[in-house]
Amino acid sequence: MYEDTQEIFDYLPIRQNPPENEYINHLWQAFTTLDESNEAARPFAVMPFHLLFMLSMQYKVLRIANSFPDACNLFFSGVAGRDKDKLLNSKISVFDIALIKERTMPEVMSLIGIGPKEIIQVKELIGDCRRIQ
């Protein structure tokens, strides 16, 4: 049903951070279990895979935040609302990035030269995944 799903690991760095690794492993196991289940359960496999996809987006945003902290802090101040203090911390984690709304997250990619057309495509992809769930 989902060919080439292991490609997601090209976008998920396996780090020395045990909570992150455990989360990735848990989501992957949930995905494979549901994907190999009977026909009634199989469509639910999209949900853990969507979370893996969003985690890969969060890793990208974290890398951008580490490279462009001032610009990202300005971005975070505008999109994080009451959670902005967590995002303005110098010790921000990939899990903190999850505080940003999914469809807003790709906008930070403009800081590294990604154009509006590509950002819209990523937002549409996120929207398509949410509709499948």
pLDDT digits (tens, 9 = 90+) for 45-94: 888 988 998 999 899 988 888 888 888 888 888 877 777 777 877 788 88
Residue 120 has pLDDT above 60, yes or no: yes
Residue 39 has pLDDT above 70, yes or no: yes
Find the helix packing angle between 46-67 and 69-79, rounded to 10°: 130
Where in the chain are the domains? 16-132
- Whole-angstrom distance, CA of residue 47 vs CA of residue 60: 20
**Using 50, 70 and 90 to split pLDDT, how confident is the model at 1?**
very low
Among 25-34, 78-87, 120-129, the range with the most confident prediction by mean pLDDT is: 25-34
